[in-house]
Amino acid sequence: MRGAVLVAIAAAIGNMLQGWDNATIAGAVLYIKREFHLQAQPAIEGLVVATSLIGATVITTFSGPVSDSVGRRPMLIASSVLYFLAGLLMLWSPNVYVLLLSRLVDGFAIGLAVTLVPVYISETAPPEIRGLLNTLPQFTGSGGMFLSYCMVFAMTLAPQPDWRLMLGALSLLSLLYLLLTVCYLPESPRWLVSKGRMKEARAVLQMLRGRDDVAGEMALLVEGLGTAGDTAIEEYIVGPHPADDEADGGDRVTLYGPERGMSWVAQPLPLGAGGQGSMLGSAIGLGSRQGSVLDHLRDPVVALLGSVHDLKPTPAAAPEGSMLFSNHGSMLSFHDKAPVDWDEENGVADGGEQLVSDDDDVRAPLLDTRGPSSMHETATTMGIGGGWQLAWKYADGPESGVVKRMYLHEEAGGGEGGVHAAALVSQSALYLHGMQQEEEQQQGGGPALAHPAAAAAEEEHEQAGGRWRELLAPGVRHALVCGVTMQVLQQFSGINGVLYYTPQILNQAGVSVLLASLGLGADSTSILISGLTTLLMLPAIGVAMRLMDVSGRRSLLLWTLPVLIAVMVYLCCFVMGFGPIPNILCAEIFPTRVRGLCIAICSLAFWLGDIAVTYSLPVMLNCVGLTGVFGFYAVVCCLALGFVALRVPETKGLPLEVIIEFFNVGARGVAASPYAEEEEAEDDDGDHHRCH
């Protein structure tokens, strides 16, 4: 996975520049207000610092939808160019008005980086190390602050420190970022698939994963193009195909392995037969009328994903071969007829054959699932990471023409008869409709899946209002509430106040007296204290990077949010939990088609909260004093702890598309009446085996 790691490091330099800028303006403002005589103009002095926040807020409003349209990579390139222009303007700055303009441009660059770097890393990282890689922006941001403080401290030792050089150094670093974004960073494979550019997407995935066989993940990305669906949870016992077909009747689903002659049978289980230790059992428990008050308050997604993680060792630590089916891999090689190649792009295969006509739908299936004739439903399966596998099946036999996709996960139980598995089942995002599907069935084929080029062409004709309407889909709306609330609570948890007053608190503790004995001036002492504070946070972020995919996001939040016993301990705990995790979660819980738009909304909440806290802090200090301010922060942390415990699910090690399916399930009332209705129906008819 070296390719994915290097790409994440390169992208995270955008956050390093943000941290660098935050530290340089903190030191440079000491000299700016003296040169421009801003002591008598506190409003202008405040704008010098706050204009970048305003710029970041404004650009965030547009960044998400634009990135969904033109791609993630062009927006990161734009961020690096804006960083460079801002550095040049700050280096020049003949007056305070040009300086304010440069800070506004700098805010544009910061807004793009903070919003899109987590999205880019999430869309390129494998599930097993996605948390670690998405903690890199926090690490590089704090590292950039420390390096900047070192530079500013060295410059404050000069007889006449030059604040323009402090701020202008940003332009040199931004050239490195520009070089990397233009020459090294690839486009997000998920965005490429959403536009039907399959050949490019496959090449990028092969580079990121370091292997040629990426068919499983390509299929996953194709299925991830949908935004919402009527997702059901089903349970199966999966075992080898019996020698005598008639010896095992009933409603069965045949799953074919990656090699000719290898096949598996999935036998549906009655509702709840897997027991309360299963994923479905967890859902049934939530729907029980005897549930506790906490059970009724807890988000169904929290319980469902919690049960998945409790079933077996962490996917990140599990061996790659520990999958539901042995010999897992591409399911596209065992057919007599070769399937359509992933190199098809925008409807044209490598040989030049036209696959998408100007006035018709796709004629060749994306995946040819023709296999040995069987009286049972047929499906194809492939590993997609994190212990999950992807399958397709007909909903009610081939004659129905309705294709369902299945995300399968091994659960506790099973035995000699096979493996106990749970499945998230919903309508396939790209199955062919109507006459074309019927034609494929008449030719003896299985489910015919359309090429993403058709979806991309349809998307181009969508009006802007259609994209906004997708935000009202239950699963998307459910995830959006979680993401926005996390961002707002993060800002009101007190990090800005703690960072602002840390030098003052350490000064009262006698640190400044010790440093003054070394012959340092007041400005140098202040900068050095801030630099040392940032340095102490780096090891804590390193620990968080190690634990993010082991303990998980939710566990880190629950362990770090209650800690308020000391300033430095609070800062270390913040950068381990509430600092990076809201951005990580927001980059994981939204569908591909609207991920940029949803991230923009969450980031807008972040910047508005930042502005509100920054400007309300002096007012609160005058009204309730420092003790009252920190008391308020403590209350917010308690509220955040409760919200995390009840409403924030654990997403470690899961493919992004699977996370979205869980939100679809939870938003459609997993803990509500459908369970009770099915349990009552079971008393009269024991044939039910699905829950919606």
Is 67 a residue whose pLDDT tops 90?
A: yes
Q: What is the pLDDT of residues 363-412, one digit of tens each?
A: 333 333 333 333 334 444 567 877 788 877 777 766 666 778 888 888 76
- What does the alpha-carbon distance between residue 259 and residue 337 come to, in Å, rounded to a whole number? 14
Name the nearest CA neighbour of 421 among 378, 388, 452: 388
Is 598 a residue whose pLDDT tops 70?
A: yes
Radius of gyration of the chain (CA): 27
| Lowest-confidence segment of 212-226, 322-336, 649-663 by average pLDDT | 322-336
Going through 123-260 in order, the beta strands assigned E by DSSP cover 232-240, 253-256
Q: What is the pLDDT of residues 11-43, one digit of tens each?
A: 999 999 999 999 999 889 889 989 999 888 888
Query: Which residues on neighbouring strands pair with residue 385, listed in sequence order?
Result: 388
Is 257 a residue whose pLDDT tops 60?
A: no
pTM for this prediction:
0.85
Is residue 75 a contact partner of residue 25, using CB atoms and an 8 Å limit?
Answer: no
Residue 611 carries which DSSP code?
H
Select the CATH number that applies to the domain covering 1-185 from these four: 1.25.60.10, 1.20.1250.20, 3.40.640.10, 3.40.50.10490: 1.20.1250.20
| Lowest-confidence segment of 33-37, 48-52, 251-255, 559-563 by average pLDDT | 251-255
Look up the CATH number of domain 469-670.
1.20.1250.20
Q: Angle, to 10 degrees, between the axis of helix 553-560 and the axis of helix 522-547?
A: 130
Tokens of 659: 């996370």
Q: Return phi, psi of residue 248, to 5°.
A: -140, 80
**Between the CA atoms of 430, 431, 436 and 442, what dihedral angle is there, to the nearest 10 degrees?**
150
Q: What is the rounded average pLDDT of the residues 591-615?
A: 91
Is 604 a residue whose pLDDT tops 50?
A: yes
Is 466 a residue whose pLDDT tops 90?
A: no
What sign for the dihedral angle of Cα 147, 141, 59, 639? negative
- What does the alpha-carbon distance between residue 371 and residue 626 come to, in Å, rounded to a whole number? 72
- What does the alpha-carbon distance between residue 192 and residue 214 come to, in Å, rounded to a whole number? 15
Segment holding 388, helix H or strand E: strand 388-394
Tokens of 249: 């009747």
Is 313 a residue whose pLDDT tops 80?
A: no
Is residue 47 a contact partner of residue 97, using CB atoms and an 8 Å limit?
Answer: no
Tokens of 451: 């090429």
Please give the pLDDT value at position 229.
66
Q: What is the rounded average pLDDT of the residues 407-431?
A: 75
